[in-house]
Amino acid sequence: MLEIKNLHARVAETGTEIIRGLDLTVKAGEVAAIMGPNGSGKSTLSYILAGRPDYEVTEGDILYDGQSILEMDPAERAAAGVFLAFQYPMEIPGVATMEFLKVAINSQRRARGDAELKIPDLLKKVKEAAGTLEMDMAMLKRPLNVGFSGGEKKRAEILQMMLLEPKLCVLDETDSGLDIDALKIVADGVNALRSPERAMVVITHYQRLLDYIVPDTVHVLSRGRVVKSGDKGLALELEKNGYAGIVGEAA
């Protein structure tokens, strides 16, 4: 479903290269964990997948369902089923969370040629998903992410993911800022979305999240490249021995 080939990318403004020959394949139905030390390029990779214009791809390609997405803007990628849950979700003052969800869902439906969801149907869907995440409906009247705690922001991200039903989900450090109960709720939400037609890329610094979201494959990023791949055992090995060994081996 996702095939990244020899990807090189840099910061558009300064030309600093951050992704340096990255290869990664994630099949449909697979949950791939991306691990790696701070500054290895994990968040940058997720931004590039989402199509943020502040990064430039200088070499290589990103194929999604066999097609290059490099020429697609972020909205086109989203309409095609690519979803990114941010490490630091943006605050949107003045836009109630519910209104945001409505616009996000319906603009994607329009882009796909589907009819817009009627308000009662939308409310029903949102209520169901919010219930799974143990989110209070009152929260959805508040502006998106404004004054939300770390855990509430992450829940709001997972709620969007549940409602948009993407084919490729990229979750950046979904565990940061979560207490153990919130972590379980978010992991349950993610696990409920596991499906043979969907691929997930779970970026995390710590193995802790992977106790709850058990990955099919684990890839270690260092200096903008995948330097080691394995199964869930690799995450446990990293937990025990740290990154130094693997990152050193590759350098």
Ligand X SMILES: Nc1ncnc2c1ncn2[C@@H]1O[C@H](COP(=O)(O)OP(=O)(O)O)[C@@H](O)[C@H]1O
Residues that bind ligand X (CB under 6 A): 11, 14, 16, 18, 36, 38-44, 54
Helices (H), the chain: 42-50, 74-79, 97-111, 119-132, 150-164, 180-192, 232-241, 244-250
Minimum CB separation of residue 56 from Mg ion in Å reads 19
Name the minimum Å distance from CB 104 to Mg ion.
Answer: 23
Q: Smallest distance from the beta carbon of 210 to ligand X, in angstroms?
A: 16
- For residue 219 the two structure tokens come to 């890839």
- Smallest gap from residue 215 Cβ to ligand X (A): 17
Binder to Mg ion among 43, 106, 107, 229 (CB under 5 A)?
Answer: 43
Name the nearest CA neighbour of 232 among 27, 54, 30. Answer: 30
Q: What is the DSSP letter of 251?
A: -
Residue 18, contacted partner among Mg ion, ligand X, none, CB below 5-8 A by kind: ligand X
Strand 143-144 to 92-96 pairing: antiparallel
CB of 37 or CB of 230, closer to ligand X: 37
Closest-by-Cβ residue to Mg ion is: 43
Cα 246–Cα 85–Cα 170 angle in degrees, nearest 5: 50
Q: With binding defined as CB under 5 A, does residue 229 bind Mg ion?
A: no
Nearer to ligand X, 26 or 34 (CB): 34
- b/e map 83-95, b = 16+ CB within 10 Å: bbbbbebeeeeee
CB 193 within 8 A of CB 162: yes
Per-residue contact string for residues 71-90; x = within reach of Mg ion by CB under 5 A: ----------------x---
- If the CB atoms of residues 30 and 173 are measured against ligand X, the closer one turns out to be 173
What does the chain come to in residues? 251
> CB-wise, 168 or 170, nearer to Mg ion?
170
Binding site for Mg ion (CB under 5 A): 42-43, 87
